Amino acid sequence: MSDEPTSSPAHADRARSFGAVAEAYDRGRPAYPAEAVAWLAGGEAKVVLELGAGTGKLTRKLVDQGHAVFATEPDEAMLEVLRERVPEVSAKVAAAEEIPANDRSVDVVVVAQAFHWFDHRAALPEIARVLKPGGHVALVWNSRDERIPWVRRMGDILGRQDLDTSSAEHLVHSDLFGFMEEASFKHWQEIDRETIVDMARSRSSFAVMGEEEREQHLADVLAFYDDYGRGMDGMRIPYVTRCYRAAVVDRDDTGPAPEEREPDGPLVSDGTDTDMLLIDFR
């Protein structure tokens, strides 16, 4: 997690830096193993709201496992890629600090590779607000397995932001959520000489580099690949997918039930029962 406060302008600028490299992000970032996705959602088909959905790396997996998914992402360029990759999902430009969903309207809120960018003082109450009683929030990060020497060398070049999952501690210290569970899953990413460049370009640290520094950084990445890769056959990067989830704390109902409120947008059914999801996804 960055040393900058999550509400600082510099932090916000880096959080919004991915749109310029949305296609590179989609090509260069790893997906998520199916067993991790199942653990995050917690079983049978549910109504899932994904915050900071990016280009849909996790969204695709959630849909494939049968969930009714609604995706939000603050960057329009990232969301455009998601709409191409997962066209059946309702997607909206929105931030975690102001979620366009009615109270108690979703079973699960999931966040992949993005929770550290949130203003947690604003986002956590919003997440708790939209969760149904018994619902939970789930967080996930893909971290390179740096127990392997050559992977540590890769981290020396690319940086180690992805290894830091400490922002999950915000759940532990929040009275809005219960006990935080943890799980981890191993998987591999196949990359080649082109996708390793995409991986490098998709880092927020790359966005703040000057032009000469960027050129040198990409040269260093390619030199690393030439030393450790297998030419056209590429290389396999080992990852540990670190997952966290916590149930929302039940609270007294101080207002009208969701079905009694005037919805901000159309009614959207999850297709599994007659309970309607009131959510502003126009």
Rounded to an integer, what distance in angstroms lies between the CA atom of residue 74 and that of residue 94? Answer: 5
* pLDDT level of residue 23 (50, 70, 90 thresholds): confident
H or E segment at 51?
A: strand 47-51
Task: Render pLDDT for 53-72 as a digit per residue (tens, 0 to 9).
Answer: 999 999 999 999 999 999 99
DSSP one-letter string for 2-26 = -SS-TTSHHHHHHHT-SGGGHHHHH
C-alpha dihedral (217, 13, 61, 132), degrees to nearest 10: 160
* pLDDT level of residue 1 (50, 70, 90 thresholds): very low
Q: Is the pLDDT of residue 19 over 70?
A: no
Task: Report H helices in the chain.
Answer: 9-15, 22-28, 34-41, 57-64, 76-85, 120-130, 149-158, 169-172, 195-201, 204-207, 211-228
Contact 30, 142 (CB under 8 A): yes
Residues 6+ apart with CB under 8 A from 153: 224, 228
* pLDDT level of residue 21 (50, 70, 90 thresholds): confident
Q: Which domains does the chain have, with CATH numbers?
A: 9-144+163-190+239-250 (3.40.50.150)
Rounded to an integer, what distance in angstroms lies between the CA atom of residue 6 and that of residue 87? Answer: 32
The residue-averaged pLDDT of 256-264 equals 43
**Which residues face 217 on adjacent strands?**
none
Q: What is the pLDDT of residue 92?
A: 96
Q: Is 8 left (phi over 0), alpha (psi -120 to 50) or beta?
A: beta
Q: For residue 117, give both structure tokens.
A: 């960018």
Q: Is the pLDDT of residue 97 over 50?
A: yes
Query: Range with the lowest mean pLDDT among 11-15, 70-74, 159-163?
Result: 11-15
Q: Is the pLDDT of residue 33 over 70?
A: yes
Tell me the average pLDDT of the chain.
84
* pLDDT level of residue 15 (50, 70, 90 thresholds): very low
Q: What is the pLDDT of residue 202?
A: 84
